[in-house]
Amino acid sequence: MQLSAATQDFILHWGEMGTKWGVNRSVAQIHALLHLSPKPLAADEICKALNLARSNVSTGLKELQAWKLVSVSRDLGDRRDKFHSVRDMFELAHVVIEGRRNREFAPTIAALERVAADAKDDTTPAHIKERMAETLQTMQMFDAWYMDVARLPRSVQMAALKLGARIARFLPKSS
């Protein structure tokens, strides 16, 4: 598979972006290739296109499947697995946000709940207890908001996203 200069730039940028999000560069590049590809690709095609070792691609594909960003399919008469990314951009964003919530945000809330409860009965200074409580309350508020929005039908979520920028024009500017 021959990649155009723009395609290579996209894949390289996606890889850089992935490292900023805590994802291995190769994993992010594999995802970028599958995201752009009009058809599912076999692991050997991914290796060749990205010049990556087979072991690196296999590990990356397993990680992407665990994130639910990549699915596997097979063609009749072909023993090779073929991989494809979530095609719908709205769904892709949802999968990423939900995955990060489950892996990062929710465990942080649970940890904050635990340390705030522990701090009630120990020698933690009052100003630190207040800061912990404020942090926990704010994170719980954002999480509750996200969970409420996530339960809405997609059409309502899209309407709210489109409406959001228009509403901001009518709200007072912060100074």
Query: Which tokens hold the place of 140?
Result: 């719980």
Which H or E run contains 67?
A: none
pLDDT tens per residue across span 30-54: 999 999 999 999 999 999 999 999 9
Domains of the chain: which residue ranges? Answer: 5-85, 89-168
Total-model pTM: 0.80
d(CA 126, CA 134): 12
The share of the chain scoring above pLDDT 90, in percent, equals: 79
- The 3-class SS string of 74-117 reads CCCCCCCCEEEECCCHHHHHHHHHHHHHHHHHHHHHHHHHHHHH
Q: Which residues contact 142 (CB under 8 A, 6 or more apart)?
A: none
Residue 175: predicted pLDDT: 63
pLDDT above 70 for 133: yes
Query: In the CATH scheme, what is the code of domain 5-85?
Result: 1.10.10.10
Residue 172 exposure: Cα atoms within 13 Å on the Cβ side: 2
